Amino acid sequence: MDLDLSTLRTGLLYFIVLVCSLCIHEWAHAFVADKLGDHTPRLQGRVTLNPLAHMDLFGTVIFPLVCIFVLSGGFLFGWGKPVLVNPSNFKNWRRDDTLVTLAGPMSNLGLAVLAAVIGGLLYKTDPRTTELFMLIIGLNVTLAVFNLIPLPPLDGGQVLRHAIQMSDETYLRISQWSFFILLLALWLPPVRWVIVTTMGLVASPIVMLYQLLAGG
């Protein structure tokens, strides 16, 4: 591991952007749940943009840092502390729980679009900001697409759970093995191709927006 100043700078930039993106993702879950009538996240102090409220020691700190400074293979991912909700507080629990679930990935897509707009407008003033804003776009598109994979307990798995009315027992059983299932799936070239292609399709119009505003 060659930890020179340039590598350290880039790694810390990746880490800071990832932590902020993960915290906004979890805040969005909590915020929408609170607005839809479930105040459980508010009582747990999760309706806040304070990163400390959403950080998971392993998923937000240790795992991402290992990806950045040890693995150095282009793979970077992480997760925040799950937001707990009580669906019985919702008026339409299946619909509202789905909206809460989708709020996380949608917040990442919104952050990517916001970065494209701000970054594109700032480009003419300081082109050096390109690295930062392209990183924000790339990481948030990755988080959005990855979280929408239909595998419990990812957000996509929760959406699938409601779509097919999966039993709690089946959901929990799959969740216990989902990390290993996901790792195995990612070793398969067709699965990686689908995920990477989807990320590219989602990122393309956002990057085009950035380029349009930047005058390129």
Q: Which residues are known to be catalytic?
A: 26
Q: What does each C-alpha distance from 191 to 29, 45, 145, 149, 181 come to in angstroms?
A: 27, 37, 13, 11, 12
State the Cα–Cα distance between residues 147 and 102, nearest whole angstrom. Answer: 9
- Beta strands, E only, 56-105: none
> Which residue, chain included where needed, has tokens 């924000």?
136
The answer to whether 67 and 75 have CB atoms below 8 angstroms apart is yes
Alpha carbons within 13 A on the beta-carbon side of 49: 4
Give the count of beta carbons closer than 10 Å to the beta carbon of residue 174.
Answer: 17
State the Cα–Cα distance between residues 195 and 163, nearest whole angstrom. Answer: 21
- Where are the alpha helices (H) located in 38-167, listed in sequence order? 40-43, 63-66, 93-123, 130-147, 155-163
